[in-house]
Amino acid sequence: GQQLNQSPQSMFIQEGEDVSMNCTSSSIFNTWLWYKQDPGEGPVLLIALYKAGELTSNGRLTAQFGITRKDSFLNISASIPSDVGIYFCAGRMGRRALTFGSGTRLQVQP
Amino acid sequence: KAGVTQTPRYLIKTRGQQVTLSCSPISGHRSVSWYQQTPGQGLQFLFEYFSETQRNKGNFPGRFSGRQFSNSRSEMNVSTLELGDSALYLCASSLGLAEPTDTQYFGPGTRLTVL
C-alpha cells in the first residue's frame, strides 16, 4: 500500500527555536493534513492543505503542499513548551482513507 | 458543536473475549472511520462507514467488524481478542464527501488492553 515517510522521527529543541518536519509519499495526494497528538488523546487537526503549492499558516504553524503533490512540510516558529507532542502528516486521495506518516516526536526544553 | 466522542475511554479484556467500542460523530457528519494505533505499526485504517454501509476497508482480519446506525453513530467489534489487539482505537468523523476539503476529525480514542 501507500507509504508516507515522515522525518525526523524525533526532535529535542530549546524553547524559542524553529522546527521543521516533512513527509514524502510514493503516490500523489489531493489533500495533505497535519495533526498533533498528545499522550492518550486523539490527533487534533492543525492545518489542512488542498492545493498543490498551497502555503497555509495557523498562528506559529506554517505548512505547504508540495508542487509534485507527493510531499508536504510543517514549520513551527518560536517553539514553546506546549508544542510538545507527536506530529503526524496524513494524505488523502479522493474518498480513500487517510494514510498517515509514522510521526515526529517533539520535545521542547524550557 | 460537540466533537467526536468515544466510549469507553479505557477497557481491559482477556484473550478470547470480544469487545464493542462506540463512536458518536460530530453532528451532521455521516462518515465514521476507525483506526488502530500501536507503537509498532502506527495509525492503521480499519474501515469506514457512510450511511450505514461499509464504504472502505483496511487490511485487518475478519475478527474486526463494525456497523453504523441511522443516526450515524458507529460501533466496532473485535471478537476472539488476541494480545496484539492491545491498542488505541480511534474513530474519526467527516461529512463523507469526495471533495478534498472534507476533513476528518478524531475522537479521544479507546485504549484497549488485552491480558
B60-105 pLDDT, tens digit per residue, is 999 999 999 999 999 999 999 999 999 999 999 999 887 778 889 9
Mean of the per-residue pLDDT values for chain B? 94
Q: Are A4 and A60 in contact (CB under 8 A)?
A: no
CB contact under 8 A, A35 and B106: yes
Q: Are A106 and A38 in contact (CB under 8 A)?
A: no
Amino acid at A99: T
- Is residue B110's pLDDT more than 80? yes
Residue of A87, A95, A28 whose CA lies nearest to A63: A87
A contact test, residue of B44, B49, B106, B110 with most A CBs within 10 A: B106
Which residues in chain A have their CB less than 8 angstroms from residue B90's CB? 42-43
Tell me the pLDDT band of A2, cut-offs 50, 70 and 90.
low
pLDDT number for residue A93? 87
CA gap A65, B6 in Å, rounded: 31
CA gap A43, A47 in Å, rounded: 12
